[in-house]
Structure 1
């Protein structure tokens, strides 16, 4: 793709929608201080989204069978990355086809994508962040490593928050029952020393609402973050886990307000999460088998968001 055409593509996509710290320093931050950000999981309601009834379903092409992260690129487009190639895909929700692709990096384990102004941010599983503009790609060390397994990334233009969710080691002196969501400095792309949100995995598993109110179905059996997104209006943080098909909603203070199990038949491996400006929620899932398709579902809130 020529530079003028690529520039025009970037500008045509509407947007729906902080101190440096080394990994070692973050790992040895005060455990007592960091754990104060981990209130007990005590949900106050169920999710406003009915995850067994999608408003729309999108069957993805073979290139996105292993889709690992999504972000809105306008009212009718999604940007997506998959696990293996350093390619950004722009998928048209109306035609259900890939409009264009942009090569941003070498082959690698890419986990999520976010839009920040006119730039695209892509997260690799070793903690490296790729920033792609119309003219260049730059790489940034976040302070996270492969031991943390950073998998979720989101940018919220309303609050200016850039968040990254870790699948494995929480760092900051936290024990192995915790999972962390860090803020990144939006200029340097390095993590703050203290997690913005700490998830207590045993408490989340115990609080799963999937078995309450007479509902039948699987409970969340594991929780290891694979995606994160901020809900417009409420500012609530949603954290998705492919393991156990769990979805946790946190309020601005980090309190768990809802825990939900996603139906395994619809979501073989849910990896991507993003919101539209009106609060509609998009969730992507990798194909469950070799000959399967990657999928994206759109959900409309069935209750008032407050």
Structure 2
């Protein structure tokens, strides 16, 4: 009888021990799942989606004039054209600025449209050339950056200063660092290299909890209110947030269910976040909007 009672107590102890461990593991798993889902003020799981017209199936970069998101300026990675449209409408205008090529990002500063080619070449022309069929007064800046592949461009709207990140450059090979370049706009519309910097992405996998490999940025923009840098990567399926001095603060995994191929990023003046995605055989190219709600410090 005593042995039977002791056995029942032991079995009960094992059950409670197992249940407690299982509960703890589940709780930890849930906490891990919740961790690093969205940047403060945003919900990356609840976007407002705008499908693009067929000509922007391979939409890449996006930009706004003076932070006004009513009108989107976009380009895609096959034609030397700028597309202008209103979100929610398939109507658009097209302005050609160069011949066919691999164009990756777009920015607007000092009343100029600026487009980045994958080899690092830059094209700039007055925004007044929109919506002409062919842009005049296009100024090209070539061979100003080291040889490499580039997809990320941001222009300071006030100074016209450009910020460019390498997607893949020789000097970064074998490291966890990504090279960046700062260029100034000259009076003739060309750009000169003035400074370099780098983003140390060695913490990327730890912050996202997923294996990411080498960091390959697709686009970047600066938050107009916090001045943090937001960098998106289609290859890494990640959104990286750095402080104003490029030190990584946090990184977030981008689910393929929401982000088919994130290639462009921009903010409006209220801090609302917009990320463009290339389409596929089963999905339209799109722009996703994430409303910003400032958090209390």
State TM-score, norm by structure 1: 0.74
Pairwise CA distance, 1:150:
1.2
Contact preservation (8 Å) 1:46, 1:258 = no
Equivalent residue of 1:206, what SS?
A: helix
1:194 aligns with 2:189: no
Cα deviation code 1:241-275 (max 9, x no counterpart): 11121111111122212211111111111000000
Task: From 92, 113, 126, give the equivalent of 1:120.
Answer: 113
Runs of 4+ with >3 A deviation: 43-46, 158-161, 173-176, 218-222
1:82 aligns with 2:76: yes
Distance 1:227 1:52 in 2: 20
Pairwise CA distance, 1:286:
0.4
CA RMSD of aligned residues (A): 2.5
Paired residues in the alignment total 249
2:228 corresponds in structure 1 to 236
Distance 2:59 2:95 in 1: 15
Task: From 119, 123, 127, give the equivalent of 1:130.
Answer: 123
Distance 1:305 1:249 in 2: 18
Q: Which moved more, 1:234-243 or 1:135-144?
A: 135-144
Pairwise CA distance, 1:201:
3.0
Written as runs of structure 1 = structure 2, the 5 A alignment for 1:1-306 is 47-48=39-40, 49-54=42-47, 56-73=48-65, 74-93=68-87, 95-133=88-126, 134=129, 135-141=136-142, 143-145=144-146, 147-158=147-158, 161-169=161-169, 171=171, 176-187=175-186, 188-195=190-197, 198-208=198-208, 211=209, 220=212, 223-287=215-279, 289-304=280-295
Distance 1:272 1:96 in 2: 19
Q: Tell which structure's C-alpha radius of gyration is larger.
A: 2
State TM-score, norm by structure 2: 0.76
Determine which structure has the larger helix proportion and give its number. Answer: 2
Contact preservation (8 Å) 2:60, 2:76 = yes
Contact preservation (8 Å) 2:270, 2:292 = no
